[in-house]
Each structure stands twice: as C-alpha cells, then as structure tokens.
Amino acid sequence: MGCSLSIVAPQGRKHRSADALFRLVHSGFPSLPDDRVGDVEITLTDALMSAFAMFSLKAPSLVAFAKERAEGHVHTIYGIERVPCDTHLRAILAPISPKGLRPVFKSIFRQLQRGKALEAMTFLDGHYLLALDGTEYFSSKPIHCASCLPRGHRHGSIT
C-alpha cells in the first residue's frame, strides 16, 4: 500500500491515530463485492477511499476535492493508487449499498470504543451524542430509502 502519514500518535494511542484508522478503513474495502464487469481501471477500494478522503477532508464539493487530488496529498495520506474523476467516482459508487459498508464502520467504531475515544460523547443511558450534518453531501434521483429526505423540484422530479 505504501501509505504514510506525517501525524505521530502519542505512545499508547497508535491504534487510534489517523494513520491506523485510515489503514483500518482501507483494509476493510477490498472485502466488498465489486459487481462491475470487464476491465476496470480504478479499483473499488480506490473509489471508496477517494470518497472517504473527500468527506474526511471536508471538501465542500467534488470540484474542491479535485484540487486536493491534483496536489497529490490523497495518495500519500489515504493510500489511494488512482483517484477517479468526479463523474467516474459517481458512477462507481452509485450502485453500492450502504449496508455493504457497515462492517467497515463497525470495525472503526469498535476500535474507537476499545480505545475509550468515545467516552466523552456518552450521553443518556450510555448512548453516544454526535453532531452530524450529512445534508448536501450526497443526493441522488435513482437511489432512495425510507430514511431519505426527498426534495421536490419545480419541474416535478424528486431528488
């Protein structure tokens, strides 16, 4: 993989360092099924890590993320071999079910629980209180679920 970070974790917390958590994410993605047929030029792991990098870098758009991609930091920090362009990234990720990502999320969550990184966020009856804002990070016309917030447009379509 050849991935290295310049962040040095304090002794005893290496399992919670950004480098360790990014490796954990990276190691979970190859187990996900890739249903694309034919010769694929960008691996599913690279596409998923690119999406993860975009979110963790808090890029406000795919265009802004493209600038980060051009600077080359995502290769070093996230261990991505080939970063897809925005159109290709959308095409690769659109058919992937979020359920498939659950094992990767659980492994990271367990690591953070084990390292007591979430204790400060414990709220009522041992539940975690997290402030998350996922609005406008993802929207789709063909993909939806019962938990989605639909938006009706003037011309009648729904996103």
- Residues 96-155 have pLDDT tens digits of 888 889 999 899 888 888 888 888 888 888 888 766 665 555 677 787 778 777 888 899
State the amino acid at position 7 in one-letter form.
I
* pLDDT grade for 158, boundaries at 50, 70 and 90: confident
Whether residue 99 contacts residue 93, with contact meaning beta carbons closer than 8 Å, is answered with no
Given CA atoms 145, 146, 147, 151 in this order, what sign does their dihedral have? positive
Q: What is the pLDDT of residue 132?
A: 64
Please list, residue by residue across 26-56, b when 16 or more beta carbons sit within 10 angstroms of its beta carbon and e when fewer do.
bebbeebeeeeeeeeebbbbbbbbbbbbbee
User: Residue 32 is encoded by which pair of tokens?
Assistant: 């996900």
pTM given for the model: 0.69
Rg for the chain, CA atoms, rounded? 17
Q: What is the pLDDT of residue 4?
A: 45
**What is the rounded CA–CA span in Å between residue 138 and residue 145?**
13
Beta strands in 16-156 (DSSP E): none
Residue length, the chain? 159
Helix H or strand E segment including 56 = helix 44-56
pLDDT digits (tens, 9 = 90+) for 14-71: 666 788 888 889 999 998 888 888 888 899 999 999 999 888 888 877 778 877 777 7
